[in-house]
Amino acid sequence: MIKNYLKIALRNLAKYKTYSAINIIGLAIGITSALLILFYIQFQFSFDKFHKDGDRIYRLSIISNRAGNVEGESPVFVPPVGPDMKGELPDVENYTRFSTLRTLYFYYGDKYFKINNASYADSTFFSMFSFKMKEGKPSDVLNEPYKLVLTESTAQTIFGKDNPIGKLIRVGNRDIYKVSGIAEDPPKNSQIKFNALLSFSSLYKSPYNYMDWNGGNQYYTYIKLKKNISPTAFESKLPDFMWQHINRMLSKIKISYKAYLQPLSEIHLKYNEASTSGLTNIYIFSAVAFLVILIACINFINLSIARSTKRIKEIGVRKILGAKRKTLFVQFLTEYLIISLFVLFLTAVLLEVFYPYYQNLIGENLTLVNPFNLTNLFQTIGVILLIAIITGSYPSLYLSSLKPVNSLKGNVSFTCKKVRLRNILLVFQFIVSVSLIICTIFVARQLNFVKEKDLGYNKSNLLIIPLLNNEVRKNVNLLKEQIVGLPGVINTSASSEIPYNGFTSNGYFPEGYKTPLMFHALDVDQNFMDTYGIKIVDGRNFIRGRSSDSTSYIINESLAKQLNWENPIGKYIARDRRHKIIGVVKDFNYSSLHSSIQPLLITERPFRNLYDYLTIKVADSNVKDIVQSIRKTWLKINPSQAFEYSFLDEEIDQLYESEGNFGKIFLTFSILALVLALFGLFSLSSLTTEQKTKEIGIRKVLGDTSTGITVRILKGYFLLVLVADIIAFPLAFYFINNWLQNFAYHIKIGIDVFLLSGLLTIVFGISVVIIHAVRASERNPVESLRYE
């Protein structure tokens, strides 16, 4: 019996090649798309699950309050919090600290190496986390000052095949570190990243580092609770702890800090800076995966029905000859299961081909998620078989339930409460497709808006050189004098930070205020405004050589507005002393466009009188030659220091890399959804013209033209796609409006995108239908009437 089922199934697949190919290809594309998205989601949920006792490890986060109002939150805090917790709270089994990531230059021999993601870490780092060591004892590699742990890839970059253990590396311009250990590169699904770890105790050797409760907010603290300790119960002890160490002191100025625990396994998707957008992407991608697979299943059903209409009489004959409903159901279902095997094979091929491109598209390395490991393979097989059973059950059950008389007459109708089910399914497909197309266009427009928006300064042709050590910082004035005279160099400026990803903030006492307010701060020289093209709207700029300007401030419009100062010139803001306001600059965006412009004050007096960045305004032409000239000048003044540079507009573009990847993914799956929807329309139009073959023949005999018949067929589909557009418009508006709220500055939602998307789907839809409509209308009526 089974052999007979298989033979009949294969014969039918071979007989109706077009239907079979569309069925298999469409379902394989849908399943492949859904699986790719699910692999991304699986990867995101796997973060930090590999650490031993990870359920007892927590990151400390601090909520800052001022006068009872929440001012902000950050997991970066002062150094002593971890050791003091371990010493005073018996629930703490262990703690570890590490600094915020930074870029350092390592010098070995006569070469230098730029190392990103370097951090200072406690000696307990490798006992707290399950990062694997290749060389060195985990408890010893960071237990003394000036010890250094490198990852395998970093060690290979610096030392090649030589054994690095015990080798000495100069970090920056002064400190010598000994390589004490080699660690495996952190897994891709770890939110804790590092290429090099320097012993935390080294920080205490510098007099310029704030290592007490009164400052130095640069460090993450993780604690490990003892077994069976409730994190909620532990958190109840933290208010007293924080009061004793810091809040008592700050209560006079109405500032307080609240500490709480963030579970290690939840940090990536819940507590990190990009967690909100990451979770949003997961929700959106999950919905897209579901919708794409649903569209594919709808196509499978519609195409199955279309193909089955040619076998209606076969069903009637089989029933008259004694075939039972159960037998017919099993036969049809067997055919769908065989199709699923072809789908499985094609899905495997598509995954193998497109998986690397997909990783580039989303900007994630998903090597940890292997589509062809046993677990994922069995899951994929199970999903495909389940889809085949579910989607094949409806046409199988319906066709096997037909009465022999109706089957022999060809009198069948697939309806759902007098509304054609296939029409409902088609409308749904186009609702999804139109919505995705609209969202894709708006995402692209927003990203273009971000790139083109006037930031309040000129970001073009600004070359940025980081001044990474004191030796270079002390030479900055000489550098500026030498570089500004080079051909193609327009201006130079030194500053504490670069206006693209936010500035640090400090507490200040404005005139008339008894409690401090937090303002962002930037230290610049006299050339900064001219180099960046920032406009001064009131007062004046700093003047070179005027000693009083070293204690004066310039503020932005937002700060003046917050303080309700209509005439801010001459007022003061106090910190270590009173600082006179001498100018107001027009607001400019110094952070990403996700954030609105915040109050800012600008000084001419950097910390220790040393700037951290040099900005060079260069001409549009011969940029490569200009950079070479700057390099030569740099090496002449700083022969032993690395020359590294970047362009500000490129740095700004990187801020929106995740949104760019998001837009690419949306575009890709929008196209797929539209293609699958057109497959569905192809199947429905095919089914309709098959069922109306006689009707068309009679109309032609009675004088109807081919054009009239074609228009009649197209009219119904035009209305279906139009209904889908009308329903899709408000849905797309809702979703894209919510997404745009992630940006403080965004485009307006115009009606032109909705009209364009609706028109595109109508044009594509009619183009697909017209193939069948014209073919049916031009068919010889004699052939149509003897279609039986």
Which one is predicted more confidently, 220 or 400? 220
Structure confidence by residue, pLDDT tens digits, 357-379: 777 766 666 665 666 666 667 77
pLDDT at residue 415 in the model: 46
pLDDT-based confidence at residue 678 (cuts at 50, 70, 90): confident
Mean pLDDT on 493-506: 87
Tell me the pLDDT band of 4, cut-offs 50, 70 and 90: low
Q: What is the dihedral of CA 223, 227, 228, 234, to 10 degrees?
A: -20
**Which of 530, 541, 655, 691 lies closest to 604, judged by CA?**
541
Query: What pLDDT is stored for residue 71 in this prediction?
Result: 78
Contact 600/590 with Cβ under 8 angstroms?
yes
Specify the pLDDT at position 529.
94
pLDDT at 414: 46
| pLDDT band, very low/low/confident/very high, at 295 (cuts 50, 70, 90) | confident
Question: Residue 338 contacts by C-beta under 8 Å, 6 or more apart in sequence?
Answer: 6, 9, 10, 13
C-alpha dihedral (304, 305, 307, 310), degrees to nearest 10: 150
| Cut 0.85: pTM above it | no
Reduced DSSP (H G I as helix, E B as strand, rest coil) percent helix, strand, coil of the chain, to 5: 55, 20, 30
pLDDT tens digits, 215-225: 778 899 999 99
Which residue pairs, CB below 8 angstroms and at least 24 apart, start in 660-667? 660/447, 661/361, 661/362, 661/363, 662/281, 662/443, 663/440, 663/443, 663/444, 663/447, 664/361, 664/362, 665/285, 665/361, 665/362, 666/436, 666/439, 666/440, 666/443, 667/440, 667/444
DSSP 426-452: HHHHHHHHHHHHHHHHHHHHHHHHHHH
Q: What is the DSSP string of 223-239?
A: EEEPTT--HHHHHTTHH
* Nearest-angstrom CA–CA distance, 142 and 220: 17
**pLDDT band (50, 70, 90) for residue 419:** very low
**Does residue 610 contact residue 474 with C-beta atoms inside 8 Å?**
yes
pLDDT of 37 reads 81
Residue 787 in this model has a pLDDT that exceeds 60: no
C-alpha span between 618 and 600 (Å, rounded): 27
- Residue 722 belongs to what H/E stretch? helix 706-740
CA distance 116 to 639: 22
Q: What is the mean pLDDT of the chain?
A: 83
pLDDT at 720: 83
Give the model's pLDDT for residue 351.
83
Task: Return d(Cα 537, Cα 519) in angstroms, integer.
Answer: 20
Length of the chain as a residue count? 788
- Predicted confidence (pLDDT) at residue 159 exceeds the cutoff of 90: yes
pLDDT value of residue 609 = 83
pLDDT digits (tens, 9 = 90+) for 743-773: 888 899 989 889 888 888 888 878 777 776 6
Which H or E element spans position 424? helix 421-452
pLDDT at 416 over 60: no
Kindly state the average pLDDT of the residues 302-318: 65
**Confidence at 711, pLDDT banded by 50, 70, 90:** confident
pLDDT exceeds 90 at position 546: no
Judged against a pLDDT cut of 90, whether residue 642 lies above it is answered with: no
- Of the two residues 718 and 562, the one the predictor is more confident about is 562
pLDDT of residue 727: 92
- Comparing 332-336, 347-351, 373-377, 485-489, the range with the smallest average pLDDT is 373-377
Adjacent-strand bridge partners of 120: 198
- Mean pLDDT is lowest, of 100-109, 314-323, 563-572, for 314-323
Quote the CA–CA distance of 554 and 583 in Å, as a whole number: 5
Assigned token pair, 625: 């030659």
Please say if the pLDDT value at position 631 is more than 90.
yes
| pLDDT, average across residues 494-523 | 86
> Which of 110-114, 374-378, 427-431 has the least mean pLDDT?
374-378
Pick from 212-226, 290-304, 769-783 the range whose average pLDDT is largest: 212-226
Q: What is the pLDDT of residues 239-274, one digit of tens each?
A: 999 999 999 988 887 889 999 999 999 999 888 876
Contacts 24+ apart (CB under 8 A), 626-632: 626/486, 626/487, 626/488, 626/489, 627/463, 629/486, 629/487, 629/488, 629/489, 630/463, 630/465, 630/483, 630/486, 630/489
Span of 16-20, 461-465, 562-566 with lowest mean pLDDT: 16-20
pLDDT at residue number 643: 85
pLDDT (mean) for 305-329: 66
% residues pLDDT > 90 (the chain): 35
SS3 of 577, please?
coil
Instruction: Give the per-residue pLDDT at 363.
Output: 64
Return d(Cα 788, Cα 783) in angstroms, integer.
Answer: 9
